[in-house]
Structure 1
Amino acid sequence: MNPITNKVWNSPYLLLLFASLFWGGNAVAARFFSEIVPPFTLSLIRLGISSLILLLFSYRCLVREWGVVKNHFKLILLLAITGVIGFNLIAYWAAHYTKAFNISLLNSTTPFFMVILSYFLMKEKLKINVMMAIIVSFSGILWVMTEGSIARLVSLQFNFGDLVMLVAVLFWSVYSIYVKKTAGVLSPLSLFGYSSLLGTLLLIPTSYIELLFLPLGPLGVKEFAGLLYLGIFPSIGAFLFWNRALLLIGPSRASLFQNLIPIWGAVLAYIILGEQITSAHLIGGLLVFTGILISRKKEESKEVHLVSEPAGKAQG
């Protein structure tokens, strides 16, 4: 490893900056491909590229842990369906109906859905500051979804794409809760590798059927570059950078950098897609971030966090 690479690999904040940038770009790419590549096929291409790269560089690790994988196949199947396939597939579907900024902002609410699901699924207690954070952030979500219109809120008129993205967030929250069961049993690389391979196999027949009804649009240099971006940077690069940063500074400080994802998403969406940021986005985003800050007010020494370790996410 040369000096520059070594310096970057041991600079946690730089790694986190790039990881959040890659995930922010994922939402923009989803919006970019919304009229070109249908969601099942886009998910298949993304997973296929990342799975091929993983096989080339981590084949020995995957073979070594095959016995453990067989014993936990049902759990890995659940993780593949909810996190590796479900989250990205539904997020790509949402991109047909809503802005890239909305996708990345709603994605940042994952910690609160995790808390709610943990309460029902794992019987974990809800703390007062977390309950306050959920209320504040959820009000921000409603503000974005109704574009700041009280009339739309009263009449329950929401953007369909935003509702779809919330379903994607629920899928990722389920994944994030159950992925903890693999801690100490399966290495993160093997978990990511096998769930990606399984997801690729599951998506092949669904993508084939989809293409019978929704053919691909024109693919040029920009489109191929975008597909490579999806398969490499948010799928593998961000995952490796995030996990390295966790080892260097711990999840408490690292998790704060997830708040940069919607900011990167907004900047990239403006530059690449020409999306405009409205006052509703600013107010809603401020409420969401306020809720996140409220939820962080606890003892960092206990390392109790609402944000779990992403693995191949479209933070987006």
Structure 2
Amino acid sequence: MNLFKAKMAASLYATMSISFWGISFVSTKAVLDKLDPYTLLTLRFGIGALFLCFFLLVKRYRFRLNPAYVPHLIVLGILGVFVHQMLQATALLTIDASAAGWLISFSPVFTVLLSMVFLHERMTFWRGFGMMIAVCGVLLVTTAGRGETLQLGMNIGYALMILSTLNWAVYSVLLKRLSIPLPALAVTFYMSVIGFLLTLPLFIKHKGIKDMALLTEAEWAHLVFLGVFVSGIAYWYWGKALEVLEASQVSVFLYMEPIATLIAAILVLQERIVLISVLGGIIIIVGVGFVNGQLFSFAQDLVLRRRK
């Protein structure tokens, strides 16, 4: 396979990963009508762990884990799986899936801030400018639903979703600092198992087994999608994309996630389009583009081309 075909295939893998992650908000929202967040996440992590275990067995992976890396995996599993998904699932009880999709794109701003503190990356004018733009976008998205009857609940939901973006940024920085010499699939499997074990006591306490009997075939399909495609295949495809493309190139595909969420929310949940929310989401993406330096680089390229 030549370089062009390899990059095209990697771009397709990244697009599919982002699409699955974007649609995950819609599937979570659809199942929360019948299940509490604890039951939903226990089933999701359990399905995901089984799928990843089966996949690793097919690849004849030897499950040998150095005890020295167990604390690292536990920390990453708690932050990146348990806390992150619990915040998002709880937030989706009171906010629209499309709004969650827009807000999650704010995560790179927190990542940059934490990188400046812990990884000693420097602040630039364009980063500060982008942060201010992104914050304005967040304010538009979070105020778009204030006309709803559940104003207090909506505000709590937005706060939890923004908190989840901060949590993901902390997880991302830790993932860079902690060196775990394991394949990405194996790390994902272990974190899914940790997430399952952490939510299992809550599942038992809230008698989630009874709620499972109320699920329809469509809702089970959403759960299987969350476990297999979101927790399993999406991470695998993301890793395959990173094998060919640079991390900065792959990160551009993150801007497509809220678009996938919006389309799925309209088609599956019949959510109405709130123009202020869409405008706020676009502003967030533009601001994040400046924070990451991608829009600034694009503007520089345009200027250089015109001068030539």
Normalised-by-shorter TM-score class: 0.7 to 0.9
Partner of 1:85: 82
CA 1:201/1:160 → structure 2, altered by over 3 Å: closer, same or farther? same
Query: Which of 174-183 and 253-262 deviates more?
Result: 174-183
Who is 1:130 aligned against? 127
Deviations 1:10-30 (A, max 9, x none): 712221221111111101011
Question: Does residue 234 in structure 1 map to residue 227 in structure 2?
Answer: no
CA offset digits 1:84-135 (Å, max 9, x no partner): 1111111111110000011111111111111222334444432322222111
**1:145 shift after superposition:** 0.4
Which residue identity does 2:63 align to in structure 1? V
Task: Confirm or deny that 1:95 pairs with 2:92.
Answer: yes
* Corresponding residue number in structure 1 for 2:216: 220
Following the alignment from structure 1 to structure 2, what is the Cα–Cα distance between the partners of residues 176 and 53?
24
CA distance in 1, matches of 2:213, 2:172: 34
Counterpart-to-counterpart distance in 2, 1:9 and 1:93: 38
Look up the match of 1:312: none
Please say if residues 24 and 264 of structure 1, whose CA atoms lie closer than 8 Å, have aligned partners that are also in contact: yes
Partner residue, 1:40: 38
Match of 1:147 in 2: 144
Which residue of 2 is the match for residue 61 of structure 1?
61
Q: TM-score, normalised by structure 1?
A: 0.83
SS at match of 1:274: coil
**Shift of residue 181 of structure 1?**
2.9
Deviation at 1:292, TM superposition (A): 2.0
For structure 1, the residue ranges without an aligned partner over 5 or more in a row are: 301-316
Deviations 1:50-108 (A, max 9, x none): 111121221453513x12xx102222111111111111111111110000011111111
Verify: 1:275 aligned to 2:279, yes or no.
Answer: no
Post-superposition Cα deviations, 1:140-160, rounded to whole Å, max 9, x if no partner, equal 0011101187x9xxxx99622
- Report the alpha carbon displacement of residue 183 of structure 1 after superposing the two structures with TM: 4.0
Contact 2:130 2:286 in 1 (8 A): yes
Identity %, equivalent residues: 27
Task: Indicate whether 1:106 and 2:103 are aligned.
Answer: yes
Maintained 8 Å contact 1:105/1:262: yes
Q: Distance in 1 between matches of 2:164 and 2:282?
A: 22
Is the CA contact 2:79–2:168 (under 8 Å) kept in the aligned structure 1? yes
Any conservation in 2 of the 1:38–1:216 contact (CA below 8 Å)? no
Contact 2:136 2:280 in 1 (8 A): yes
CA contact (8 A) 1:9 1:15 kept: no
Q: Which runs of 5+ in 2 are unaligned?
A: 298-308
Which residue of 171, 183, 186 corresponds with 1:187? Answer: 183
Residues paired across the two proteins, number: 288
Given residue 259 of structure 1, which amino acid in structure 2 is its aligned partner?
Y
| SS, match of residue 63 in structure 1 | coil
Specify the alignment match of 1:14 in structure 2. Answer: 12
Establish whether residue 208 from structure 1 lines up as the match of residue 204 from structure 2. yes
Q: Is the 8 A contact 2:94 2:153 kept in 1?
A: no
The equivalent of 1:307 in structure 2 is none
Matches within 5 A, 1:157-172: 159-172=155-168
Q: Do the aligned partners of 1:36 and 1:217 also contact (CA within 8 Å) in 2?
A: no
The one-letter amino acid of 2:77's match is A
* Cα distance change on mapping 1:194 and 1:220 into 2, 3 Å: same
- Alpha-carbon distance between aligned partners in 2 of 1:213 and 1:56, rounded to the nearest angstrom: 24
Residues 202/252 of structure 1: CA separation in 2 closer, same or farther (3 Å cut): same
Greater shift, 78-87 or 112-121, is seen at 112-121
Q: Quick check: 186-195 or 32-41, which moved more?
A: 186-195
* Residues 1:119 and 1:291: Cα distance change in structure 2 (over 3 Å): same
- Verify the 8 A CA contact 2:103 2:281 in the aligned structure 1: no
Alpha carbons of 1:217 and 1:97: their partners in 2 closer, same or farther (altered >3 Å)?
Answer: farther
Cα-Cα RMSD: 2.7
Cα deviation for residue 8 of structure 1 reads 9.3
Q: Provide the TM-score with structure 2 as the length reference.
A: 0.85
Q: What is the distance in 2 between the residues matched to 1:28 and 1:220?
A: 16
What is the Cα deviation at residue 282 of structure 1? 2.0
Q: How far does the alpha carbon of each residue in 1:229-251 deviate from its partner, in whole angstroms, 9 at most, with x for none?
A: 00111111111111111112221
Q: 1:71 to 1:32 in 2, by over 3 A?
A: same
